[in-house]
Amino acid sequence: MPYGRPTDMPVPGRLRDLATPAEGVCGWSRTRDRVETYFDKTATRTWERLTSDAPVSRIRETVRRGRDEMRAQMLSRLPDDLRGARILDAGCGAGQMSAELAARGADVVAVDISPSLVEIAAARLPQGLSGQVQFLSGDMLSHDLGRFDHVLAMDSLIYYDRHDIARALDTLARRTQGNIVFTVAPRTPLLMTMWRAGQLFPRADRSPTMIPHAPAALQKALQRVEAPGRLNPLNRVTSGFYISQAMELSI
Ligand SMILES: C[S@@+](CC[C@H](N)C(=O)[O-])C[C@H]1O[C@@H](n2cnc3c(N)ncnc32)[C@H](O)[C@@H]1O
């Protein structure tokens, strides 16, 4: 392990159940496997740096700023005082959202398919918050995760097609009593061009391709799976190469 583990650092667990309701029906697990390879091997160090205070290129600096803004917007959809609330940080990455949720009093379940990122997230959590966050590596749809008051999924559904996102939201909505706040890549001209280029030239490093979505098509996909709740687009954040659309499913 590349990190010395202080004795009081939370020890990440590993989910046994990887099976998801989408399994076998569509491409969820295929996309998830690509995402895992990318974040757990190819891009771990890049992601670790981007999510820290370490100097980065000017382009990455704009991405960092955009992500900070998006995180704040997503958090603003939740009550200020989160004491007593059980919240899923679905695809927690290096744990920035989890730490903020815990600082507001929530009991956080921080899950990510990349064990390396979960290790980084656990190592970074401020000491005083360690009792409030359970770190797990595995699929955000695992049955073992239980029920939640709120779910946040920042930029963790951006690689999945609309049918997979709809099934994932349906699964999560049936375990959640408040809202699910998540992001998608919007269908802007820039992102559509990048997406088409990615389709034409599949990447050799097997990095996952972001799929842009229109809110109306997502809404239709949700209706098709009879997901509970009401879908509303929230704000869009554009900062350099970071373009992300926040959405909310109110249950
Ligand atoms: C772009 S990163 C965002 C991380 C974090 N939410 C943030 O905003 O800093 C996407 C994350 O989603 C995770 N992810 C994607 N699909 C997942 C799945 N099915 N289950 C758990 N984690 C997943 C990836 O491993 C990666 O860490």
Q: For the segment 68-103, what is each residue's pLDDT rounded down to a tens digit?
A: 999 999 999 999 999 999 999 999 999 999 999 999
State the distance from the centre of ligand 1 to the C-alpha of 158, rounded, in angstroms: 9
Rounded CA gap, 172 and 208, in Å?
Answer: 23
The pLDDT score that the predictor gives to residue 169 is 97
Q: Which CATH architecture has domain 23-250?
A: 3-Layer(aba) Sandwich (3.40)
pLDDT in tens, 13-46: 998 766 565 555 568 998 999 999 999 999 999 9
Closest ligand 1 atom to residue 89 Cα is 6
Ligand 1 pocket, residue 93 CB under 6 Å: yes
Domain definitions of the chain by residue range: 23-250
State the distance from the centre of ligand 1 to the C-alpha of 35, rounded, in angstroms: 8
CA 103 to chain centre: 19
Ligand 1 pocket, residue 95 CB under 6 Å: no
Ligand 1 pocket, residue 32 CB under 6 Å: yes
Ligand 1 pocket, residue 22 CB under 6 Å: no
Ligand 1 pocket, residue 117 CB under 6 Å: yes
Full-model pTM: 0.94
Ligand 1 pocket, residue 156 CB under 6 Å: yes
The pLDDT score that the predictor gives to residue 207 is 73
83 burial (CB, 10 Å; 0-12 / 13-18 / 19+) is exposed
The pLDDT score that the predictor gives to residue 11 is 85
The DSSP-derived string for 121-176 is: HHHHS-GGGGGGEEEEES-TT-GGG--BSEEEESSSSTTS-HHHHHHHHHHHHTTB
Among 52, 112, 118, say which to mutate for ligand 1: greatest number of ligand atoms within 8 Å of CB.
Answer: 112
Closest ligand 1 atom to residue 39 Cα is 25
The pLDDT score that the predictor gives to residue 3 is 41
Q: Which helix (H) or strand (E) holds 217?
A: helix 215-224
52 burial (CB, 10 Å; 0-12 / 13-18 / 19+) is middle
Closest ligand 1 atom to residue 70 Cα is 8
State the distance from the centre of ligand 1 to the C-alpha of 92, rounded, in angstroms: 6
The pLDDT score that the predictor gives to residue 86 is 98
Residue nearest to atom 4 of ligand 1 (CA): 93
Q: Which residue ranges in the chain fall short of pLDDT 50?
A: 1-4
